[in-house]
């Protein structure tokens, strides 16, 4: 069992949007960063805990709890020339980009980035490191536990 933080722009896909979907589940398409892809492909297992983070919005922070709902499989948007996420260099016989399904578990209070930064127990979070921009980052069990307590 591992833990992750996944960023989503609420204008694109908020925690409410995911909860409103069938099975509260969404395919996490559009990741175009190798490190983030590798976390999905090599690290994630069904049932892993996910902190659902709202980014690029007025109040960035953790907005909900989710879980990994599938193992990694090819992201079909990479082959669609009309898609914003089209990658002409990726071939169907050798897909470059993968995705997983993510299932929303519950909405939480908005736990703002500023509150995460202010908590000494969380100072090592990958999310909070200088210059960190990864849309998918690992979370340690201790960090997960701290955040669960903050969301109680």
Instruction: Please say which residue, 22 or 120, places its beta carbon nearer to DNA.
Output: 120
Instruction: Identify the residue among 105, 134, 150, 151 touching DNA (CB under 7 A).
Output: 134
Binders in 66-95 for DNA, by CB under 7 A? 89
Q: Is 64 in the site for DNA (CB under 7 A)?
A: no
Which H or E element spans position 17? helix 15-19
Q: Are 6 and 12 in contact (CB under 8 A)?
A: no
| 49 touches 67 (CB < 8 A) | yes
Cβ count within 10 A of residue 103: 19
The nearest distance, CB 23 to DNA, in angstroms, is 25
Residue span binding DNA (CB under 7 A) among the ranges 26-34, 40-48, 103-111, 143-151: 26-34
Pick from 39, 30, 106, 49: nearest CA to 72: 39
Does the protein bind DNA through residue 148 (CB under 7 A)? no
How many residues touch DNA under the rule CB under 7 A: the total is 19
Q: Which of 23, 34, 91, 142 binds DNA (CB under 7 A)?
A: 34
Q: Do 104 and 22 contact (CB within 8 A), yes or no?
A: no
């Amino acid at each position: 069992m591992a833990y992750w933080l996944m960023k989503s722009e609420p204008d694109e896909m908020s925690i409410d949007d995911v909860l409103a979907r069938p099975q509260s589940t969404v395919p996490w398409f559009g990741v175009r960063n190798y490190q983030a892809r590798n976390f999905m492909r090599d690290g994630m297992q069904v049932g892993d805990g996910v902190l659902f983070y709202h980014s690029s919005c007025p109040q960035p922070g953790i907005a909900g709890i989710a879980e990994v709902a599938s193992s990694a499989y090819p992201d079909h948007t990479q082959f669609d020339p009309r898609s914003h996420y089209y990658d002409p260099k990726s071939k169907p016989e050798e897909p470059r980009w993968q995705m997983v399904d993510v299932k929303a578990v519950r909405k939480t209070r908005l736990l703002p980035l500023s509150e995460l930064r202010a908590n000494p127990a969380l100072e090592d979070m990958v999310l909070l490191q200088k210059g960190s921009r990864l849309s998918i980052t690992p979370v340690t069990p201790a960090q997960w536990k701290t955040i669960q307590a903050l969301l109680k």
